[in-house]
Amino acid sequence: MDIHQEVKKRRTFAIISHPDAGKTTLTEKLLLFAGAIQIAGTVKSRKASRYASSDWMEIEKQRGISVASSVMQVEYNDHIINLLDTPGHQDFSEDTYRVLTAVDSALMVIDAANGIESQTIRLLEVCRKRRTPIITFINKLDREVKDPFDLLHEIEDHLKIDAIPFTWPIGMGKSFEGVLEIKTDKILSFKAGQDRYQSPDILSKNGSNKKNNLLFEKLFSKIEQDVTLIKEATPEFDIKKFISGEQTPVFFGSAINNFGVQEVLDTLIDYFPPPSYQPAIQRDVFPDEERFTGFVFKIQANMDPSHRDRIAFIKVCSGIFKRGMKLKISRTKKDIKTNNVVSFLSQKRDLINEAFAGDIIGIPNHGVLQLGDVLTEGENLQFTGLPFFAPEIFRSVEIKDPLKNKQLNTGLKQLGEEGAIQVFQLYKSNTLLLGAVGQLQFEVVAHRLKHEYNADVNILPVKFILARWISSKNNKILNKFIDSNTSNIAFDSLGNITFLATSQSQLKISQELHPEIEFHKIREYNKLLSVINDL
C-alpha cells in the first residue's frame, strides 16, 4: 500500500449553503452520480418522509432542517470522496465551523433566485480565513431566477472572491435550455426531470450531425453576447488562486433535475486538492507521514437508537489507520482501542479496516473522547484551530420531575461534550446554565433530553446576556478578580473560567477596570486564543 498514492486519491470537502438553497438535494445527487446510492430521495419520496438520507435526528424530520452534520464516503473514478454535510441553519453554525476545520475544500450551493444570503456570507468568512478552495454551484435554474451576471457580482461583492464561470446558462425557468461549457464551447441541453442515467444531449459547433449543429447555433445565438463579455471580462482561471481561496469556478444547474451535477462532480475530483499538512502547536503534520495522527472535530450521541453510545468523528491527518490499533489521546495520555471503528454512509455504519489522511473515522466511546482531542501512536500533539464560540444566549434548565435529576445531569454532560450546547456551572452554586449561539439549540437540547435521556425540562430565561472566557498572565490577579466577581463567574464543561455579564456595559467596565485580565470571545480547544478573536 503506497501511502502517497492513497493520500493523493482523497478529496475531503463540505457542502455549505443557506438553508433551502438545495444542499441536501445536491448531496443526494452527488452520491447518486458517484454510484453510492441507487435512488435519490426524489421530491416525492422526500415529501413522504420529509427528510433526506443524510438527516438523522427526529427533530430534523419535524423541522425540516439539518441539525446534525453527517459524513459520507464514496469511491468515484479511482478517487475517495469524503463528503461532510453541515447544518444549514445559522443556529447551528458552531457545528458547521468545526466541520470546516476538518475539510480541505468546500462546495457552495447558491439558490439562483435568492442570490447570496446571510448564512453563506458567514460561512464564507470562515472559509476565507482558512483559505479553503471553493467550487460554486448556482442551483434552481429551472425557476425564474436572478440575472446570471448579477449573481456573479453578488458573489464577488459579498463573498470577496473572484467568480469564474465554467458554464453559462441559456435562459431560465420554463425557457431554461441548458448551459454552455465555456472552455469547450459545448452546449449541454436541459430536459426537466432528466434521469441520472441519461446524459444530457451535447451540442457542438462543428459536429458531424447537422441537426445538432443547427440547434447549437440557435441556442448559442441567445448567449453569444454574454459569452463574449465573460471571455473578455473575467480573469483566466488560475489553479493557484483557486487553491488559496481567491477564485471560485462557478457552475449553473438544477440539482433536482440532475442537471449540472456531473460537471461539478468531475471538477471537484480534478481541482479540489488532496489532504494537506495540519498545523499543530509542536510542529506541522504531513498527510503522508508514516505514523497515524487525527483529531476529534465532532461528537454525536445516540446517533442510532440501536447503539446507545457516542461517536467521536475523527479526521485522519497522517499515517495509516488500521482497525484494532492502539491510539493515545494526547489530552489524557490514555490509550484507546479501535476495534469498532466505523465509517459512514448515512445511517448505515460500516466497519472499516484502514483509513488514510482525509478520511473520517468514527470511534464509538462512552465519553473518553472530547471535541479537539488528538489521537496519535504515542506522540504528544495538539492541533490548532478548532474553535468554540462564546455563547450569545443563556437559559437555565428546570427538571419537571425532580426524581429525574440524574438523567438531566447525564444528558447535559453528554450534550455539552458533544458541543450541541455549552454548559456552565455557576461558581459557588449548583446552578447549571446553558449557553447557545442560536435559540434553536435550546429547543433541540430540550427535545433530546426528553427523548434520549428521559428528562423532561423547562427552559427558563436568565439575566446573563454574554460570556467571555478569561485568563491572565498573573494568577494572583486572576484569583482576585474571581473572588470579587463570584456572582458573574462560571466554569465551562472543561473547567475553563468564564465571566458572565448582564449587559455590554458591565463587560466593558470590567475590561477597563482590569486591564491585566484577558476576555476571550473564542477559545480553542483547551487553550484560550486571542489571535482569532476577530472571527
Report the residue number, 47 or 428, with the smaller CB distance to ligand G4P. Answer: 47
87 is in an annotated binding site: yes
Question: Residue 87 in contact with residue 95, Cβ under 8 Å?
Answer: yes
Report the residue number, 117 or 417, with the smaller CB distance to ligand G4P. Answer: 117
Report the residue number, 189 or 496, with the smaller CB distance to ligand G4P. Answer: 189
Crossing angle between the packed helical segments 23-33 and 261-271, to the nearest 10 degrees = 80
Alpha carbons 296 and 311: distance in angstroms, whole number: 10
140 is in an annotated binding site: yes
Grid coordinates 457580482 are at which residue? Answer: 153
User: Whole-number minimum distance, CB 337 to ligand G4P, in Å?
Assistant: 37
**Running DSSP on this structure, what letter comes out for residue 307?**
B
Report the residue number, 194 or 526, with the smaller CB distance to ligand G4P. Answer: 194
391 is in an annotated binding site: no
22 is in an annotated binding site: yes
Report the residue number, 44 or 183, with the smaller CB distance to ligand G4P. Answer: 44
17 is in an annotated binding site: yes
Report the residue number, 134 or 312, with the smaller CB distance to ligand G4P. Answer: 134
- The contacts of residue 339 (CB under 8 Å, 6+ apart) are 323, 324
User: Whole-number minimum distance, CB 69 to ligand G4P, in Å?
Assistant: 12
H/E stretch holding 86: none
Question: Residue 27 in contact with residue 85, Cβ under 8 Å?
Answer: yes
- The contacts of residue 208 (CB under 8 Å, 6+ apart) are none
SS3 450: helix
105 is in an annotated binding site: no
User: Whole-number minimum distance, CB 142 to ligand G4P, in Å?
Assistant: 5
89 is in an annotated binding site: yes
Distance of CA 359 to the CA centre of its chain: 15
Report the residue number, 139 or 300, with the smaller CB distance to ligand G4P. Answer: 139
Alpha carbons 131 and 124: distance in angstroms, whole number: 10
Residue 35 main-chain phi, psi, to 5 deg: 85, 15
Report the residue number, 47 or 476, with the smaller CB distance to ligand G4P. Answer: 47
20 is in an annotated binding site: yes
Q: Which amino acid is at 151?
A: L
Report the residue number, 47 or 211, with the smaller CB distance to ligand G4P. Answer: 47
Beta bridge partners of 167: 181
- Write down how long the chain is: 535
Q: Which stretches within 76-235 are classed as H helix?
A: 93-100, 118-130, 148-159, 210-233
CA dihedral 473, 476, 479, 480 (to 10 degrees): -120
Nearest partner of 64 among 88, 86, 40, judged by Cα:
88
Alpha carbons 462 and 464: distance in angstroms, whole number: 6
User: Whole-number minimum distance, CB 145 to ligand G4P, in Å?
Assistant: 9
User: Whole-number minimum distance, CB 147 to ligand G4P, in Å?
Assistant: 18
User: Whole-number minimum distance, CB 66 to ligand G4P, in Å?
Assistant: 6
139 is in an annotated binding site: yes
Q: Which amino acid is at 371?
A: L
User: Whole-number minimum distance, CB 54 to ligand G4P, in Å?
Assistant: 9
Q: Which stretches within 281-435 are classed as H helix?
A: 405-418
Binding site for ligand G4P (CB under 6 A): 17, 19-25, 43, 46-47, 88, 139-140, 142-143, 254-257
88 is in an annotated binding site: yes
User: Whole-number minimum distance, CB 45 to ligand G4P, in Å?
Assistant: 9
C-alpha grid cell, residue 341: 471503528
Report the residue number, 252 or 519, with the smaller CB distance to ligand G4P. Answer: 252
User: Whole-number minimum distance, CB 89 to ligand G4P, in Å?
Assistant: 8
Question: Residue 383 in contact with residue 295, Cβ under 8 Å?
Answer: yes
Burial of 397 (0-12, 13-18, 19+ CB in 10 A): buried
User: Whole-number minimum distance, CB 168 to ligand G4P, in Å?
Assistant: 17
142 is in an annotated binding site: yes
228 is in an annotated binding site: no
52 is in an annotated binding site: no
Question: Residue 318 in contact with residue 289, Cβ under 8 Å?
Answer: yes
C-alpha grid cell, residue 12: 475531503
Q: Which residues are annotated as a binding site?
A: 17-24, 85-89, 139-142
Q: Which residues are annotated as a binding site for GTP?
A: 17-24, 85-89, 139-142
